[in-house]
Amino acid sequence: MREEDFIFENPENKILDNGFVKVKSPSNIALVKYWGKSEPQIPKNASISFTLYNCFTSTILEYTKKENASKKPNIKVIFEGEEKEAFKPKIEQFFERILIYVPFISDYDYIIKTENSFPHSSGIASSASGMSALALGIMSLEKKLNPDMSEKYFLSKSSFLSRLGSGSAARSIEGPVVVWGKHPKIENSSDLFGTVFPFKIHPIFENYQDTILLVDQGEKQVSSTVGHNLMLDHPYAKNRFIQANQNLERLTEVLQTGELKEFIQIVESEALALHAMMMTSSPYFILMKPNTLKIINKIWDYRKKTNLNICFTLDAGANVHVLFPKDEKREIDTFISNELISFCQNNKYICDSLGEGAEMVI
């Protein structure tokens, strides 16, 4: 599908009465990372992620018919019960970016009521769940104007709009494993939207666990958007993009064979490669904290001692995602409680597992 295919035409100029939609969209954790992009939100390499289940954003999008259709929509954002002016510029920019694909959005004013099941800006991809929830809300509106659209188009366009809000959000609409970015070995993969991993996944990955250790719940010092831009003239960028695409090719096999030792090697290497890019950017920065490294070393020691299939990955932050198969949960949960939780801020952590993606609630 091309960009033009996502432009909505409203020949009868149908305008809805006032109403609302309610949606829910999860976060995702990348196994092969997206770090580096060009305009308009086109990734420099393909990425792949596990869609999460417990970490999600719920959004109610209230729309009211505007008196004057030529004016910009008036948007009010209420985050966890409180009006948030600070979120408005990003959302307004998103509305401007998507206007060409969903021109009907300028027919309404909006109240966006949104809440997360996890701490905002904690390094858990709140932009992924937040932006995909908003995109899905807008697509729910489009569906009211065009009830005949196919399920496939609905999902692809939801991901397409999500991407224009935040790249990683493109991978949150569906699950449990989603690819975003054109890759020669993955048929139908696209730079424009996420697609479900097209091959049969080995049963060992069913219900795979992700325990997120909240090492630092503060605001990030460097936003992902700034980090992506630093890849534009990064000395290692070219090789990094090649490496990511190769890792995705290897992971494509591993997800089918269930070869967990290889899985661990790819996933941990990707996390460290991402942070190595940050440390070698100009200007350079470090998002890991001392406790991030302590946790990583503990995981390595424990894995060596027990031969269990525990591994870690990192997002653009200090928190550690601990990944392991469901059938090792009992032992690994005990290890996490006894040995890792003390490295978390206020002992906070989230137990998550794979999910199926976003849903329209009403």
Give the nearer residue to ligand DP6 in terms of CB position, either 93 or 257.
Answer: 93
Give the nearer residue to ligand DP6 in terms of CB position, either 231 or 332.
Answer: 231
Minimal distance, residue 125 CB to ligand DP6, in Å: 5
Minimal distance, residue 114 CB to ligand DP6, in Å: 16
Take residue 186 and report the two structure tokens written for it: 């993955």
Q: Helices 260-279 and 237-257, interaxial angle, to 10°?
A: 160
Length of the chain: 362
Minimal distance, residue 345 CB to ligand DP6, in Å: 20
Give the nearer residue to ligand DP6 in terms of CB position, either 277 or 332.
Answer: 277
Give the nearer residue to ligand DP6 in terms of CB position, either 221 or 225.
Answer: 225
CB 101 within 8 A of CB 161: yes
Give the nearer residue to ligand DP6 in terms of CB position, either 237 or 274.
Answer: 274
Minimal distance, residue 175 CB to ligand DP6, in Å: 15
Find all residues with CB under 8 Å of 60, minimum gap 6, and list them.
20, 21, 22, 112, 113, 114, 137
Give the nearer residue to ligand DP6 in terms of CB position, either 47 or 217.
Answer: 47
Minimal distance, residue 223 CB to ligand DP6, in Å: 7
* Backbone phi and psi for residue 18, each to the nearest 5 degrees, phi listed first: -60, 150
Take residue 67 and report the two structure tokens written for it: 């008196």
CB 24 within 8 A of CB 57: yes
The contact set with ligand DP6 (CB under 6 A) reads 30, 33-35, 41, 47, 125, 127, 166-168, 224-225, 228, 274, 315-316
Minimal distance, residue 267 CB to ligand DP6, in Å: 12
Q: Of the candidates 160, 193, 174, 145, which has an alpha carbon nearest to the alpha carbon of residue 8?
A: 145
Kindly list the distances between the CA atom of residue 82 and the CA atoms of 85, 90, 108, in Å, as whole numbers in the listed order. 10, 17, 22
* Backbone phi and psi for residue 176, each to the nearest 5 degrees, phi listed first: -85, -15
Minimal distance, residue 164 CB to ligand DP6, in Å: 9
Per DSSP bridges, beta strands 108-116 and 75-79 are parallel
Give the nearer residue to ligand DP6 in terms of CB position, either 186 or 332.
Answer: 186
Q: Of the candidates 279, 237, 274, which has an alpha carbon nearest to the alpha carbon of residue 34?
A: 274
